[in-house]
Amino acid sequence: MTNYYQGIDIGSSYTKITVIDENDCVTYQNIIKTLNRDKQELANIISKIKSDFNIVSICATGYGREHFKDSHINKTEIYCASVGVSALYPELKTIIDIGGEDIKVIKSGGDSKVDDFYMNTKCAAGTGTFIIEIAERAELELSLLSELAAKSEFDKELNSFCTVFAKTEIMKWIFDEVPEHDLARGIYISIVNRIAKIRMDKALPIFLIGGVIQYHPFLKTIVEEKFKQRVVVPENPQMINSFGAALLAKKHALTEMKINAI
């Protein structure tokens, strides 16, 4: 029977699941809202995976990792990100993971080792929540934000670090009749400028992952402009941590088997 390995990334907004086979090939992926009151949905997905695949090991990651009872190991999303991206791009790099409620900047070795990392713990400035809140105040359709921003040459940013005050700040732009596409670009610039204040090795290529880049692909252009570096967005950037977790589940299973064999 073929063995499969499962990674589950329980983030603050979404739960992502990846199943891989012995060759590290992704055979299954799914994503659902984390705070779905209907807990049955996740339970159904998990039991369907169990019946479809011979899952030998599970690794949980993300904020909810401790609450997932079926996992064999738990690892942080920072380590999983490093493992997931390194499996696809084995090189020294900076990974920027922009999630719903935080930003993580990881210096990641080609061998998946986390050399250094930064994470904001003070506020939600520059995260997915920031975009949602500001776009809502500016009455911009979230799903069109990237398309709009692509049409603009605007170069201003919102200065306030506080999401709530930034919402007040964007009112001034609206009163000044700044066109919609400029507002959209301004929001993205604000995010990237916040990231640029974090210490990182300027010589390294940047890999953008997380839900925000998945739904706001134009951010990549702004990151390229700001950092003047090779910027890569891996395929399915939102799923990469669960992919990393699946790889770690496999590694764990193989080590266990080795120990048992001794």
Partner 1 sequence: MEQEIKKPYKIQSAKIMKEIMGNYFLGMKDTTKKIAWCTSVGPAELLRSFGFEVHFPENHGALLGATRTATDLIPEATKLGYSSEICSYLTADVGSYLKKQTPLTEHYGLEGPPKPDLIVYNTNQCREVQDWFEYFAKEKGCPVFGIEPPRYVDEVSNEAIENVAAQFKSLIPICEKASGQKFDIDKFRETIRLSKEATDLWKKVLWTARVSPSPISFFDATIHMGPIVVLRGTQMAKDYYTTLLKELEDNVVKGIGFLEVEKCRIYWDGMPIWGKLRPMSELFAANNAAVVASTYCNSWVFDAFDPKDPFESSALAYTEIFINRSENAKEKILKKLIKDFNIGGMIFHEAKTCFSNSNSRFGMPLRLKNELGIETLVIEGDLCDLRFYSEGQTTTKIETFIEQLS
Which CB sits closer to partner 1, 66 or 136? 66
> Residues 106-135: x/- map of binding to partner 1 (CB under 8 A)?
-------xx--x-xxxx-------------
CA angle 64/69/71 to nearest 5° reads 85
Going by the DSSP 8-state scheme, the letter that residue 11 receives in this structure is -
Least spacing, CB of residue 93 vs partner 1, in Å? 16
Which range touches partner 1 (CB under 8 A), out of 39-47, 61-69, 132-140, 251-259?
Answer: 61-69
Token couple for 7? 């990674």
The verdict on 29 binding partner 1 (CB under 8 A) reads no
Please give the size of the binding site for partner 1, defined by CB under 8 A: 22
Q: Which of 63, 130, 207, 227 binds partner 1 (CB under 8 A)?
A: 63
Query: Which residues fall within 8 angstroms of residue 22, CB to CB, at 6 or more apart?
Result: 2, 3, 250
Partner residues linked to 17 by β-bridges: 8, 30
Which CB sits closer to partner 1, 77 or 133? 77
Q: Which of 37, 39, 69, 197 binds partner 1 (CB under 8 A)?
A: 69
CA distance to 85, 110, 119, 239, per residue, from 79 (Å): 10, 13, 13, 14
Beta 206-209 vs 231-232: how paired, if at all?
parallel
Least spacing, CB of residue 245 vs partner 1, in Å? 12
CB atoms near residue 245 (< 10 Å): 37
Of 215, 206, 197, 219, the C-alpha closest to 14 is 215
Contact between 124 and 100 under an 8 Å Cβ cutoff? The reply is: no
> Residues 92-111: x/- map of binding to partner 1 (CB under 8 A)?
----------x---------
Least spacing, CB of residue 140 vs partner 1, in Å? 28
Binding site for partner 1 (CB under 8 A): 60, 63, 66, 68-69, 71-79, 102, 113-114, 117, 119-122
